[in-house]
Structure 1
């Protein structure tokens, strides 16, 4: 099966094309430090054979948290816990990335100043955010830069910039949430300017041999919102600044979404072809056959298995056994997987 083939980009060599996408665990505390749960959670999926594990949304500043229980990488003390997780996952054969993000107007952590590109609340139950000034935008860019330095010190093999799901970068990208009257809104170049500046800052400090991933919401499913075509126009302006595109959708505002296995794959295929970049497809992909079809038909380069990996941490091992694919199972479990 093609999902079991290696994938290489820059110095990153994955043993298969299965990705665990970032999924918030909300299991830290107000310090943002990783703990024993995070260790067990990620190492289990590494034992289970995942090629690339992308750790959950990790805030670049305290007010960048989605909740008060998010992981953080805004201070040096947060490096050690992440470094230990990376080390042991490496020992089990998985490569590790971390998703860096800022919640923007969707921050619910208490006692934090909520910020956004425009002073528009997410919904009628949410706080009206402070509209970022030009100098404050530059400060957020610096926060991403510093978090990238810390991610490298923790030993991550790749970094993902979270530009999806209605969080701060996504808020700048989408016409739904960005109503600014300056150079950060009004056309593809302006709506993408904030993400471009973050990528430029990260690229200055991130090792050249390690890939940079960008995650985007390609469709807001709302009139006047983001579309795959507009996202393509945005990304084409600076596609040289990243190596892999992780294609999701929704989140900037409440919308009706027809969710089904692979419902975001067409947007991934479109952006793969229009921007000519490798893509990760994600979205309720839960069976080996669906994953294989996507890769075999060149609709994506890597497959993110999310909720299914929460239910079954050994999805890769079980798939190899089910499909009778030669696989180097963990020696501790060999007696189980080698019996057909």
Structure 2
């Protein structure tokens, strides 16, 4: 793993990812306890198992108004009938300028809130907890959706907008962002707080703050994207100030019963001078003290052109480092694709839960299959599907 100010470099991170993969393979053969389907309680919410749907952008608000559509209802609803414990929405912007693309979702007006409430009711009807990931894309906003023929920043005459960031440093291939003033930073803190209130009013059980993948909060955290010289730049304490203000504000807004997650990137995947696992662990401890409960640990996204060792479970080591170093519960994500692999992560204590994304796109009912593969009998098959349940 990449440690700021230490002798551990990127080659060591690649080697550790390889060793982690070998460990998972060993666990697959030796673990018999099926902890993946044990419940987990965080504050006022009990998740029926530890196999969760990660946030996945759909780029499908075709009216460019940030309102969830029938596509989002069907997309998220398909997971609700598939046996998971928690479903997250895609990265949901707290302001119009915070959307990744013009087709991304937002939660900053009544129409959006009402559309989300409909989705939450469907998820709850299947006994599943509903989570929303609140986000601001910063300098990576106003981009073309992935299947568009164009790349980069969407021009204003095509529905794009001026992006913002901690510093006027562009992500490669994108327009130069506007550097946020202190008063504009204050407005973003309030936007997160307001969207958190809307999320609770829409019925969501869990909130997650997106501070990973090179989006705004990650941009403030990393010295590669934050060159400020005021109270929001320079030292780690200053670079973490915005995230911690948002954690504190959201906790005050939603009260003590609501679980508050934070998604962090464990590293920028650079040799030196960027965001790394040591800083991630430190900030996770600070965020815990400010009111966060759980940490969803991923990696990368802040700079382009880096080498990432895409091996099975390559990010699990980051979740473990944060779990052990900060004394906080974590989830692991990234090329986890089998029941045995996911169960191994939880049963070995490497993380407290597993989030999957692409595997659920392949099979929205993967959790039901995973339980069967692990020899677990579930009592929450949808009644409409019980005729298909495996029998002893």
Quick one: distance in 2 between partners of 1:296 and 1:152? 32
Aligned-partner SS, 1:71: coil
Which is worse superposed, 224-233 or 243-252? 224-233
Residues 7-46 of structure 1 correspond to what in structure 2 (within 5 A)? Answer: 7-29=40-62, 30-46=64-80
Aligned residues between the structures? 339
Aligned to 2:203: 155
- State the match for 2:384 in structure 1: 332
Matched, 1:168 2:216: yes
Counterpart mapping for 1:27-176 below 5 A: 27-29=60-62, 30-108=64-142, 110-123=159-172, 125-176=173-224
How far is 1:296 from its partner? 1.0
Write the mapping of 1:235-274 to structure 2, written as runs, cut at 5 A. Answer: 235-240=284-289, 241-254=291-304, 255-274=306-325
Of 221, 224, 231 in structure 2, the residue corresponding to residue 183 of structure 1 is 231
Question: What is the TM-score of this pair, normalised by structure 2?
Answer: 0.85
Shift of 1:297: 1.0
Q: Is the 8 A contact 1:188 1:233 kept in 2?
A: no
Name the SS of the counterpart of 1:304 in structure 2.
strand
Q: Secondary structure at the match of 1:13?
A: strand
Question: Is 2:283 aligned against 1:231?
Answer: no
Distance 1:37 1:204 in 2: 33
Cα distance in 1 for partners of 2:279, 2:369 equals: 39
CA contact (8 A) 1:192 1:235 kept: no
Name 1:277's counterpart in structure 2: 328
CA distance in 1, matches of 2:279, 2:370: 37
Query: Who is 2:257 aligned against?
Result: 209
Alpha-carbon contact 1:189-1:237 (below 8 Å) kept: no
CA RMSD of aligned residues (A): 1.1
Q: In structure 2, the residue corresponding to 1:58 is in which secondary structure?
A: strand
Aligned to 1:238, the other structure's residue is in SS state: helix
The separation in 1 between residues aligned to 2:231 and 2:107, in whole angstroms, is: 29
Post-superposition CA distance 1:217-251 (Å, at most 9, x none): 11000131111001122232332220000000000
Deviation digits for residues 66-123 of structure 1 (CA, Å, limit 9, x no counterpart): 0011011011221111001101110101100100000000012533221000000001
Looking at structure 2, the residues matched to 164 and 322 of structure 1 have their Cα atoms a distance apart, in angstroms, of: 32
TM-fit CA distance, 1:339: 4.0
Distance 2:295 2:372 in 1: 30
1:19-50 alpha-carbon deviations (Å, 9 max, x no partner): 10101011113110011110111111010011
CA distance in 2, matches of 1:276, 1:102: 27
Q: Give the alignment's TM-score, normalised by structure 1.
A: 0.97
Distance in 1 separating the partners of 2:369 and 2:286 = 42
After alignment, is 321-330 or 136-145 more displaced?
321-330
Q: Structure 2: where are the runs of 5+ without partners?
A: 1-33, 144-158
The structure whose RCO (Cα within 8 Å, separation 6+) is larger is 2
Is the CA contact 1:62–1:112 (under 8 Å) kept in the aligned structure 2? no
Query: Residues 191 and 234 of structure 1 are in contact (CA less than 8 Å); yes or no, is this contact kept in structure 2?
Result: no
SS in 2 for 1:72: coil
Deviations 1:141-181 (A, max 9, x none): 11101100100110000100000000000000011100101
